[in-house]
A and B are shown apart, each in its own frame.
Chain A
Amino acid sequence: MNRQSIRDAMIESLSGVTTRHAAEGANVDHGTDRLELLPQAVREHLAENEVLHQEWRQLLRQVRAIRTLERVPVPSDLDGRVVASLQAGYRQERVAEQVQALPTERAPRELDLLVRRLANQPFAEASADLGDLKAPASLERLVAVRVETERLARKPSGMPRTSRLLAAAALLVATSLGLVRLLGERDAGTGDNGLEVASFSFRVTRMEDPANADPALLGLLGGMSGGMLDGREGPQ
């Protein structure tokens, strides 16, 4: 056996150190080297080599000390926290399902063209353009139609404190911010000059009162809008 294999064997044998053995460490009169925990071959090496024997004592001493650490009782408030976290998880899943269930809308051609134009501009220009962006008229019309349809249908909202209304401005800002991030990544990355933009569809929901909105919904929309809707002060 070489030095490392002896050390490995000694360390493996430390699993035999019990809490009773651990208590021996506190009593210098009864402390023992517990050589019986070691395989015979290792014991023979230790008998001939004081350095190895000392190494075993050190290892044993460490593990005796660690074994004196007692089990820690589980605090009573863990139950409540786990239940709360479980229920929050369910709420989040439910909200995600509701958002998934929203009808998808095809992007109006004007918005599609706008996105393509932005996507093919250098990052700095696209960022500068963002401040002057206005929702295309077709998107505004789409909003108006959806709002009216919703009102006439009087469909009960499946989502707490929200209704299925299109919010053109929020969509535009969120889309633009997403694009700016993509452009930033493009310019910082491979140096590609063009960005392929396929026609896209989207889902939009409008929070009637973000201050009272379900935090799970806010979190989900925040993620989907690139952080634009993270805060309760964000666009509605």
Chain B
Amino acid sequence: MACQESPDRGFDGAFRDLYEQYKDRVYNVCYRTTGNAADALDASQETFGILFRKVSAFRFESKFSSWVYRIAVNASIDLKRRSAARPATSLDRLRSPSDDSAPIDFKDDEVEGPEAAATRHELQAEIQEAITRLSPKMRAITVLRYNESLSYEEIAECLGTSLGTVKSRLSRAHAALDRELTPVLDRHHLR
């Protein structure tokens, strides 16, 4: 892939296409892996920086999208590791109405009712919190499997592991989710 853009030409051509094609996937993986909008933005920026620097060296020995996911997951995990000393993001931040990265409201609050909408937002924030409490590896595999709908083979490529590792890690992620998520779902009376 030729990505020899000149800075004078701005951000057009192949880079722009690549960015447009992957920005949603990259940002969503970063958001779900880091657990908040500010870190997701930093991790996405880092992901595209790495992508653009290294794209010419990509040898197509794996799926391109798997490589992109891999960079995004690693950038998110690295960022969380670096900021581990900082105070944890509060749930309030995740729920903040001024946060322009809050999940899209596909449902019409007028139809759904404001109370129901508020409950749904709260539930989503709590589910996200439960995912964020998983270890980085378990978080990554959960997000790739259930938010990005990747196959085991694609996940193995993304994470640079074997299929067996993907299976066992996912099984352990479910055991951890059982601990983290069950109280949330019980509280919201979800089956």
Contacts and interface: CB of A to CB of B under 8 A. Distances in A.
A19 B49 CA distance: 33
Contacts of B100: 73, 75-76
Interface string A27-48: 0100100000000000000000
Interface in A54-102: 57-59, 61-79, 81-83, 85-87, 89-91
B145 A65 contact: no
Interface in B1-36: 5-7, 10-11, 15, 19, 23-24, 27-28, 31-32
Given A63-B146, A67-B146, A89 B104 contact: no
B182 A58 contact: yes
Contacts of B102: 72
Interface in B162-189: 167, 170-171, 174, 177-178, 181-182, 184-185, 189
B90 to A, nearest CB: 18
A74 B178 contact: no
A12 interface: yes
A58 B178 contact: yes
A111 interface: no
B27 A72 contact: yes
B15 to A, nearest CB: 7
A85 B149 contact: no
The range of chain B's interface size is: 35 or more
Contact of A83 (B11, B104, B174): B11
Given A8-B171, A66-B131, A72-B101, A90 B190 contact: no
B76 interface: no
Interface string B90-103: 00000000001111
A70 B31 CA distance: 11
B31 A7 contact: no
Interface residues of A, number: 43
Q: For chain B, what secondary structure do more than half of its interface residues adopt (helix, strand, loop), or is it mixed?
A: helix
Contacts of A28: 189, 191
Contacts of A210: none
Interface stretch (B64-72, B78-86, B122-130): B122-130
Nearest to A76: B100
Give the interface centre of A7, A31, A65 by most chain B CB atoms within 10 Å: A65
A58 to B, nearest CB: 6
B146 A73 contact: no
A70 B104 contact: yes
Contacts of B123: 68
A11 interface: yes
B104 A25 contact: no
A68 B124 contact: yes
B103 A69 contact: yes
A65 B142 contact: no
A62 B177 contact: yes
Nearest to A67: B146
A26 interface: yes
Contacts of B131: 66
Interface of B: 5-7, 10-11, 15, 19, 23-24, 27-28, 31-32, 37, 40-41, 44-45, 48-49, 52-53, 100-106, 123-124, 127-128, 131, 142, 145-147, 149, 151-152, 167, 170-171, 174, 177-178, 181-182, 184-185, 189-191
Interface of A: 4, 7-8, 11-12, 14-15, 24-26, 28, 31, 57-59, 61-79, 81-83, 85-87, 89-91
- What 10 pairs between A and B have smallest CB-CB spacing? A31-B191, A70-B103, A90-B7, A66-B146, A74-B27, A85-B49, A83-B11, A81-B45, A82-B48, A87-B7
